[in-house]
């Protein structure tokens, strides 16, 4: 048990920059590098916690520079506080500044790492989870010409991944051609997930989903703009393909609204949208009451935050889908420990106390940092 005088003594904030193996293209833009933030929280009990965020300007309105600056403001108010009081510390962060869910998630993960270590439990057990299911990630194809996407799909199929996620959202005719080309290349058996990243209007979404209804599509993520969530129910009603809310479902307040509207079939939970595991758990609780399926996904996180995602995915039987592929797109893996990627997309989650993922001192020493 942690002593009652458990305190945060120092917080280190680092800029993590990793090139991707190749550009990753979605309807919201092209990504060339992972430009993330690592937060390390040190305590007077000798237990240190690691957290990470991968800010996304067009989704949470943050980038590496804003997170680096806001992170310093957060660090100043958290220094001297008890890291086990995660709810109280989150309340202080929210009182300090509105939004900024990405950088808040990095602090949240680091505090959960400390709390789980203090309890002597792997993070998934600390969150109330257990290893009662197999976690397997999809692999994502970014937007390109139909034949290039078809060739990429064939490589993913041959690599043994259980499902392929396809980025769309650039127009009715071309998006339909993309899926038809992929299906011609890989056949109908391997399931597809499609993600428009808000790229269609309501009518276009309905027409595309109707055209793809026989193409073994598991679900469609965020077909229309997030601000048009009142019309998401219309798309859901007209579509035989299940609809998953992503950008329109950030925190538990959004989740409650979408449930009340009957706007979607599933949620895509991302720590960078929810402000971390604490509020992510509140989304899960709401979804469980509705027996609603969920996916845990991410942005361009390394294995630090992706390991937190995997722990979270073990916390609820209603989390059925995992989208944990981005570390596989990196030109290098800077992380020690963490999840292990096995054959057929299977994810192995650490059993050590806490998060079980960290960056070594020599790797941290190469990164730009600030110490509070």
* Active-site annotation, residues: 167, 195, 221, 246, 270
Residue 250 and residue 278 in contact, taking contact as beta carbons nearer than 8 Å: no
Residue 346 and residue 162 in contact, taking contact as beta carbons nearer than 8 Å: no
Beta strand spans in 238-337 (E)? 243-245, 266-269, 293-296, 319-322, 336-337
Query: Assign residue 53 a region: left if phi > 0, alpha if psi is -120 to 50, beta otherwise?
Result: beta
Distance CA 297, CA 59 (A): 14
Residue 296 pairs in a beta bridge with: 269, 322
Q: Sort 275 into a burial class: Cβ within 10 Å, 0-12 / 13-18 / 19+.
A: buried
Whose tokens are 């808000």? That residue is 198
Task: Give the closest residue to 202 by CA, choosing from 186, 222, 188.
Answer: 222
DSSP letter (8 states) at residue 38: E
């Amino acid at each position: 048990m942690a002593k009652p005088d458990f305190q945060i003594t120092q917080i280190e904030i680092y800029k993590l920059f990793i090139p991707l193996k190749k550009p990753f293209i979605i309807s919201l833009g092209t990504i060339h590098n992972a430009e993330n933030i690592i937060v390390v929280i040190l305590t007077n009990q000798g237990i240190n916690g690691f957290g990470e965020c991968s800010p996304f300007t067009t989704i949470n309105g943050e980038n590496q520079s804003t997170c680096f600056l806001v992170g310093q403001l957060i660090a100043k108010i958290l220094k001297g506080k008890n890291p086990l009081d995660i709810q109280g510390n989150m309340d202080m962060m929210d009182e300090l500044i509105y939004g900024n869910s990405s950088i808040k998630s990095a602090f949240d993960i680091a505090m959960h790492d400390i709390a789980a270590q203090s309890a002597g439990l792997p993070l998934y057990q600390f969150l109330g989870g257990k290893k009662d299911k197999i976690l397997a990630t999809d692999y994502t194809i970014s937007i390109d010409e139909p034949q290039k996407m078809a060739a990429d799909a064939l490589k993913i199929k041959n690599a043994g991944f259980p499902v392929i996620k396809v980025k769309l959202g650039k127009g009715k005719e071309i998006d339909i051609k993309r899926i038809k080309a992929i299906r011609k290349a890989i056949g109908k058996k391997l399931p597809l997930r499609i993600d428009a990243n808000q790229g269609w209007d309501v009518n276009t979404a309905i027409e595309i989903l109707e055209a793809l209804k026989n193409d073994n599509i598991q679900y469609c993520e965020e077909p229309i703009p997030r601000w048009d969530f009142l019309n998401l129910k219309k798309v859901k009603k007209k579509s035989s393909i299940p609809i998953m809310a992503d950008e329109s479902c950030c925190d538990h307040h959004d989740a409650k609204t979408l449930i009340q509207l009957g706007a979607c079939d599933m949620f895509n939970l991302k720590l960078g949208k929810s402000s971390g595991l604490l509020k992510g758990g509140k989304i899960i609780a709401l979804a469980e009451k509705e027996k609603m399926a969920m996916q845990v996904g991410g942005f361009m996180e390394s294995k630090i935050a992706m390991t937190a995602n995997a722990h979270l995915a073990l916390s609820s039987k209603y989390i059925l889908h995992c989208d944990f592929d981005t570390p596989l797109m990196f030109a290098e893996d800077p992380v020690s420990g963490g999840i292990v990627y096995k054959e057929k997309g299977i994810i192995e989650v650490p059993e050590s106390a806490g998060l079980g993922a960290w960056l070594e001192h020599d790797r941290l020493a190469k990164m730009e940092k600030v110490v509070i």
